[in-house]
Structure 1
């Protein structure tokens, strides 16, 4: 079956990014046992990722690259926050390099990576961990099926066979 909007797509992928040595390094995979399953066209995936898959059908292999701009954006040097140390009262200060789950005033969840500990606070980089990186995806389309009315109502896929909620 061909991939179309309002279809549920299951696929395997290997995601490669260039490491500091300039060679490609595998950073994430979805396997046949644990494929990535998503509702196509629902805005859950990177738009350019979906665009690259839009001509494919069940059983097709794919191999494409996304520029940093088309993926998670370039690194924004200003996307840094200084978290007051009071936030960490009663617990140890996080280590440099650790990832903190954060929430903004609108209730949006995101992650920040601790870059340094200052006298009065913890300096956190809010860029997506893959910002500034070109992504290379390789994989296969495992299955394509029309979404169920329930999935369309919820705006996301319910697992490969459509029943379980995570």
Structure 2
């Protein structure tokens, strides 16, 4: 079976980025024991990532690079804000440190993460760019399985594991 809309795909992958000098840097991986399993074509994955997998079948190997624009976007120099120190009072006496990634929520309830770039007396400075913004993404891996999505998976909008039942017994 080929990867296409409404199929559940199980893959391995290694993800690398590159330094400005051109050296590859390992980011993360999914192996056969803990593969990435997802419902193809419902917007869960980066669109260009899915495009590169379209039509592949179990056993196929793949390797491709996504530009920053096709991944998590270019770095937005204006995506920096200062948050009042009072926002962090509920977390206790320990303030975040420079380099920490903190969870935030917007007025519509959307959750996201921000990188702490400065800790000051009156505010905490954060970078709202995705941690992978501005980076090309280099993927290599193998398609393990491809199957039709179940009706439950399609109605829920996500895969229920490689077998279609994980976490929904």
TM-score by length of 2: 0.95
**1:81, CA displacement in angstroms?**
1.7
Q: Does 1:140 align with 2:142?
A: yes
Which runs of no fewer than 5 residues in structure 1 stay unpaired?
none
Q: Which runs of 4+ in 1 moved over 2 A?
A: 19-22
Change in CA separation of 1:20 and 1:92 when aligned onto 2, cut-off 3 Å: farther
Q: Which residue of 2 aligns with 1:72?
A: 72
Q: Secondary structure at the match of 1:69?
A: helix
Give distance in 1, aligned partners of 2:80 and 2:167: 35
Which runs of no fewer than 5 residues in structure 2 stay unpaired?
none
Q: Does 1:24 align with 2:24?
A: yes
Q: Decide which moves more: 103-112 or 12-21.
A: 12-21
Q: Does 1:47 align with 2:61?
A: no
**1:165, CA displacement in angstroms?**
2.5
Counterpart of 1:121 (choices 120, 123, 128) is 123
TM-score by length of 1: 0.96
**1:79-94 paired onto structure 2 within 5 Å:** 79-89=79-89, 90-94=92-96
Tell me how large the CA RMSD over aligned residues is. Answer: 1.2
How many residues align? The count is 166
